[in-house]
Amino acid sequence: MSPSRSSKKWVLAAIGILLALFILKIVLFLTAKPKITVDYVAEYNRASRPPNYDPNENAAPYYQKAFDAFVETPDKFEYPHIDWPEDFNSDEQALLQEWLTSNRQAFEYFGEAADKPYYWLEREAEEDNFMGSVMLPELGPLRELTKALVWEAKLAALEGRFHAAFENILDCYRAGKHKCRPNVLPSEQHIGLRIKQTAISAALVILDRVQVDNRASKFFQDDLQQELDTDTYVPGSPAERLFDYDILQRTFVDNGRGTGRLWWRIGFGVTIPLAGEGRIRERKIMFSCVTGPTKKQAAEQVELTFSLFNQAITKTPWQIKSESYDYFKEIENINKRHISLEYLGIGIDPNNIFHSYHRTKAQTEALIAILTILQYKADTGQFPESLDKLVSTGYLQALPNDPYSDGPLVYKFTEDNFKLYSIGEDFSDDGGVSEVVNKARQGTGFRGTGIAPYVHSPDIVYWPVKELKKLCYEFTLE
């Protein structure tokens, strides 16, 4: 055999081997798939379960009784543009009274639930134990009941039953605390904060619209202060972290070494119906099945973002500003590092819950301060010259902190009124004056399509209370 023929055979053999390896690679690429090895829903249930759990101390069955007994909100009061019972016409007031009376049993169950130390539900997935298919059916009824109980509180205050009114407010606040637990899902924590805000806002409206006697005011202040003192909640992300890992195990190939990449069925199944930039994103996601990141790199990104979140959430907005390190921008940049992970929803968006948490806490402290200011005025005939005066005379336990400054909330007084406000997210004291912006928001309400101006305030004003006004509606006939 000639040397040239021998060389050709070796070349052909080498090509054959390479082709076989290439085909094998293609086969492995097409047949490899994710392995679901961890039941993250079960992990979540274990993590969210209260320590030393006692079924008799769980509010869940009482809330369920309240939901079952609840008579749904009439459309007229679903999204009202007024915030006080007297501002409805006589027919609307009668309907409001009838609706609230029909819900007395639901309110009783709600009160029993609010007195329990915790509210825990064992979650179930709708699809293949996937955390993304876990339903939270109680959140809607819980919010609706809270809004109804707020109307009940306002009506009780209007009738001079202040103790009952404030008990209802406290029940709502406690219900918010039930959902404000760091180990539960982010949507639960958001609802918990919203319920707290609803309760505090209602109390401020009551103080603005009726003269509350000092005895009832002091009772409310003491109980609310106790709720605040025992509230150890700081937003947490363990549940969202479990959610991310559940997505990773379902979308990345598991090769046992952590170097598996995005499953081709996921990457090549992406459809972004946009031209230009959208098509570029689509191709990048497809090619990430080959180019990465690996499952291990994706997990490292998850850990990094949650580590930054845990550092940021313990600080106030002012402290973060003073450090000159934007945790949230850094988290955003990390989340965008790999376009495939961004598409899958891997990562965390802490900005909203961060500000909501600090605003809610400041609003609660502001309400307690306002209660003491009004008590001082009733006792002495004049407003205190400063918040320090309230502390030194024993009316106020501590100065209300402004999370957007390095000091307390701003207090200013005149002979007949006072202002109490936070300087807000622009970190600038604008005097506590609301600025009416010449713009409009459009939305659909029970009386048609509404066009209404909205108010922009650089400062967060707690007092005087901004009253909601009936809006002028433009009706669209179809």
**What CATH number has the domain bearing residue 399?**
3.30.700
CA distance 80 to 339: 42
Is residue 28 assigned to a domain? no
Please indicate, yes or no, whether residues 354 and 478 belong to a single structural domain of this protein: yes
pLDDT (tens digit, 9 = 90+) per residue, 99-126? 999 999 999 999 999 999 999 999 999 8
Q: What confidence category does residue 270 fall into, taking pLDDT thresholds of 50, 70 and 90? A: low
Q: What confidence category does residue 20 fall into, taking pLDDT thresholds of 50, 70 and 90? A: low
Do residues 473 and 449 touch, judged by C-beta distance below 8 A? Answer: yes
Please indicate, yes or no, whether residues 382 and 304 belong to a single structural domain of this protein: no
Q: What confidence category does residue 467 fall into, taking pLDDT thresholds of 50, 70 and 90? A: low
Please indicate, yes or no, whether residues 256 and 358 belong to a single structural domain of this protein: no
pLDDT of residue 70: 98
CA distance 101 to 95: 10
Alpha helix ranges (H) inside 257-350: 264-267, 277-291, 295-312, 317-323, 327-335, 339-344
> Per DSSP, what are the bridge partners of residue 463?
420
pLDDT of residue 178: 98
Fill in the DSSP letter of residue 269.
T
Is residue 325 assigned to a domain? yes
CA distance 277 to 267: 17
pLDDT of residue 453: 46
Is residue 143 predicted with pLDDT exceeding 70? yes
Compute the average pLDDT of residues 23-37.
65
Please indicate, yes or no, whether residues 292 and 336 belong to a single structural domain of this protein: yes
What do you get for the CA distance between the two ends of the chain, in Å?
A: 92
pLDDT of residue 33: 78
In percent, the amount of the chain with pLDDT more than 90 equals: 66
Is residue 32 assigned to a domain? no
Please indicate, yes or no, whether residues 341 and 354 belong to a single structural domain of this protein: no
pLDDT of residue 448: 39
Comparing C-alpha atoms, which of 154, 178, 221, 150 is closest to residue 367?
221
CA distance 400 to 370: 10
Alpha helix ranges (H) inside 32-122: 40-48, 60-69, 90-102, 104-114
Please indicate, yes or no, whether residues 439 and 333 belong to a single structural domain of this protein: no
- Of residues 198 and 285, more confidence is placed in 198
Number of domains, the chain: 2
Is residue 263 predicted with pLDDT exceeding 50? yes
pLDDT of residue 476: 32
| Degrees, nearest 5: CA angle 417-419-421 | 165
Domain end position, chosen among 349, 383, 411: 349
Is residue 316 predicted with pLDDT exceeding 90? yes
Is residue 25 predicted with pLDDT exceeding 60? no
Is residue 213 predicted with pLDDT exceeding 50? yes
Do residues 326 and 320 touch, judged by C-beta distance below 8 A? Answer: yes
Amino acid, single-letter form, for residue 303 = E
CA distance 65 to 69: 6
Collapse the DSSP code of 301 into the 3-class scheme (helix H, G, I; strand E, B; otherwise coil) and give the result: helix
Is residue 327 predicted with pLDDT exceeding 70? yes
Structural domain span for residue 433: 350-478
Token pair 């549940």 in the structure block, residue: 239
Do residues 149 and 172 touch, judged by C-beta distance below 8 A? Answer: yes
Q: Which two tokens stand for residue 96?
A: 């409001």
| Degrees, nearest 5: CA angle 231-237-242 | 135
Radius of gyration of the chain measured on its C-alpha atoms: 29
Is residue 257 assigned to a domain? yes
CA distance 15 to 3: 18
Is residue 107 assigned to a domain? no
Domain end position, chosen among 321, 349, 377: 349
Is residue 378 predicted with pLDDT exceeding 50? yes
Amino acid, single-letter form, for residue 314 = T
Is residue 137 predicted with pLDDT exceeding 80? yes
Q: What confidence category does residue 418 fall into, taking pLDDT thresholds of 50, 70 and 90? A: very high
CA distance 388 to 392: 6
Please indicate, yes or no, whether residues 383 and 472 belong to a single structural domain of this protein: yes
Please indicate, yes or no, whether residues 450 and 422 belong to a single structural domain of this protein: yes
Residues whose CB is less than 8 angstroms from the CB of residue 477 and which lie 6 or more positions away in sequence, other chains included: none
Is residue 392 assigned to a domain? yes
- Of residues 77 and 95, more confidence is placed in 95
Q: Which two tokens stand for residue 214?
A: 């000092």
Domain end position, chosen among 287, 318, 349: 349
Token pair 């990465």 in the structure block, residue: 292
- Of residues 268 and 318, more confidence is placed in 318
Please indicate, yes or no, whether residues 288 and 388 belong to a single structural domain of this protein: no
Helix/strand/coil percentages in the chain, nearest 5? 55, 10, 35
CA torsion 350-356-362-364 (nearest 10°) is: -130
Comparing C-alpha atoms, which of 263, 238, 243 is closest to residue 340?
263
pLDDT (tens digit, 9 = 90+) per residue, 164-184? 999 999 999 999 999 999 999
Q: Could you give phi then psi for residue 411, rounded to 5 degrees?
A: -120, 130
Is residue 442 assigned to a domain? yes
Q: What per-residue string of b and e applies to 359-375 under the rule 16 or more CB within 10 Å gives b?
A: bbbbbbbbbbbbbbbbb
Do residues 200 and 173 touch, judged by C-beta distance below 8 A? Answer: yes
Please indicate, yes or no, whether residues 396 and 315 belong to a single structural domain of this protein: no
Collapse the DSSP code of 393 into the 3-class scheme (helix H, G, I; strand E, B; otherwise coil) and give the result: coil
Is residue 177 assigned to a domain? no
Please indicate, yes or no, whether residues 457 and 436 belong to a single structural domain of this protein: yes
- Of residues 329 and 21, more confidence is placed in 329
What is the helix (H) or strand (E) element at residue 203, kind and residue range? helix 186-209
CA distance 278 to 271: 9
Q: What confidence category does residue 443 fall into, taking pLDDT thresholds of 50, 70 and 90? A: very low
Q: Please, what is the angle between helix 104-114 and helix 60-69, to 10°? A: 170
Please indicate, yes or no, whether residues 318 and 395 belong to a single structural domain of this protein: no
Is beta strand 418-422 parallel, antiparallel or unpaired with respect to 435-445? unpaired
What is the helix (H) or strand (E) element at residue 186, kind and residue range? helix 186-209
Half-sphere exposure of 204 (CA within 13 A, CB side): 23
The average confidence (pLDDT) of the chain is 86
